[in-house]
Structure 1
Amino acid sequence: MTHLSVNINKIATLRNARGGNVPDLLQFTKDIEKFGAQGITVHPRPDERHIRYQDCIDLKPIVTKEFNMEGNPVSSFIDLVLKVKPEQVTLVPDAEDAITSNAGWDTLKHKDFLTEVISEFKSNGIRTSIFIDPDVEKIKNAVATGTDRVELYTEAFAEQYEKGNKDAVNIYAECSRLATSLGMGVNAGHDLSLKNIEYFAQQLPDLLEVSIGHALITESLYFGLETTIQKYLNLLKR
C-alpha cells in the first residue's frame, strides 16, 4: 500500500490568520494519525507564513509515525532539520517568494550541492528525498547525489488528468520504474486529490508515499477530516 503523508501547512495557515492557537496544530496532528494517516508533512518557509520553525520542534515528540520535513536547503532549514531529525527530509528548490512549490531540481546542474547536503543529512540518520520533475535524465542524474528517494512533482499530471488526458501519467510511470531500478524509492506530491489519486497510484506500482495537503484539507471541509483520510486510504489500497 502507498503510504499517505498529510501536509498540515494549511492548518497552520488557518491558525495564523487569527493568531492564537485555533486550530490547535498539535491536536490536529494527533487526530490525523489517529484517523489512519501514515505520516505528517510540514514545509516551513523562511517567512514562516504557515508552518513556523518552532512548530517543527514542537511536532517532533508528537508525531508517532513518519515525520517528513520539506524545504529549500538554505542554512536555516538545514540547521532546523539537524535539530529536529525527522524520519525524512524532502529537498525542494522553491524560491522564498513562491506561493507553493513550482519546479523540481536540475539534478545535473545542482549535483555537487545536493550531494553535499544529502550526505550531511544521511550521516545524521535522516532519509533523504529530492523533489524532481518527471524527466528521465533528471532521474538518472539523481542517483549520483546519493538520495534515498525522489518525489515526483505531479502538478502537470493533475492538470492533464482534469482535462481527460490520462496518458499524462505515462511519463511518471516510466520515471518511477527507472528510479526503482536504480535503487531509489519513489514518492509523489502536488495537486493530487480524491479525483486523481487512485488512477495515479494504480499506474505506479512502486509508489511508496504521497504527500497531500491543500486538496485533502479542502476536501475535509465537505467530508470531515476522518472521512477524507479514510477515503484516501481506501483509494491507495492495492
Structure 2
Amino acid sequence: MSLASLDQLCQKIGYEFKDTSLLTMAVTHRSFSADNNERIEFLGDSLLNMIIAEALYRRFPGIDEGDLSRIRSVLVSGKTLATIALEFDLGRYLRLGAGEKNSGGQRRASTLADVVEALIGAIYLESGFDVCRERVLAWFAPRLSALNPESSHKDAKTRLQELLQARKQPLPNYQLIETAGADHQQTFVVACSVSLLTSSVSASGSSRRKAEQAAAEQVLLALKEVE
C-alpha cells in the first residue's frame, strides 16, 4: 500500500499511525499473507465490546444488564461494523489475495467488519486504551446519540415478533436452508417467512442465531417498503 493511500485512510478514520506496519497489518486479509489481521482483529473485538459496554452503562443508568447487552449486540454487530467500514470506504484499502479479490472480498460485509475491529486493535497497540476509546466513541457517536432506550435494545427477531402480534398475524417461520464452510468458519443461511410478504427473505451469518437475526432485520425492512 502506498504512503498516499495510508494517509488517505488515516484521514478517514481520524487517526494517524506512526507505525504504518500496524495499519498495513490491520487491512491485510489472511488470503493475502500469513502476516494478517486475524490476531489484531481478535484484540479489537474485545476492546470494542468493552468500550461500547462502558458507554452504554454510563449513558443508560436505568437499564438492566439484559437490555444493555441487547443494545450492545446491535451496536457491535457485523452489520453495523460493515456500515462503518463503508463510510470509511475501507474496501479500497484492503490487501486481499487474488482469489478473494476476484470473488468480491472487498465488498463482503464480514471482511469489512473484521477490518474495523482490526483497526481498533491496531490503534490500541500503538496509543493505548484512552486514545482507542476516544476513536471508537467518535466512530459510534451518531449511533449512540440516536439510541432510543425504549426500543433500541430489542433485537430484530423480537421487534418482528411484536410487529406481527400487533397486526394479529402468525409468528415468523425460520428455516435453515444452507450451511457452508469448514467447521471452524461456517456460514449459515436462514430463510424467514411471514404472512405479510409473498416470498421468504434469506440472510446469512456466522451462526444460525446471527443468520436468523439478519433475516428478521431484512423482513422488517421489506415490510416497511410495502407499507
TM over 0.5: no
Q: Which has the higher contact order (CA 8 A, sep 6+)?
A: 1
Q: By percentage of residues, which structure has more helix?
A: 2
Q: Report the structure number with the largest CA radius of gyration.
A: 2
Q: By percentage of residues, which structure has more strand?
A: 1
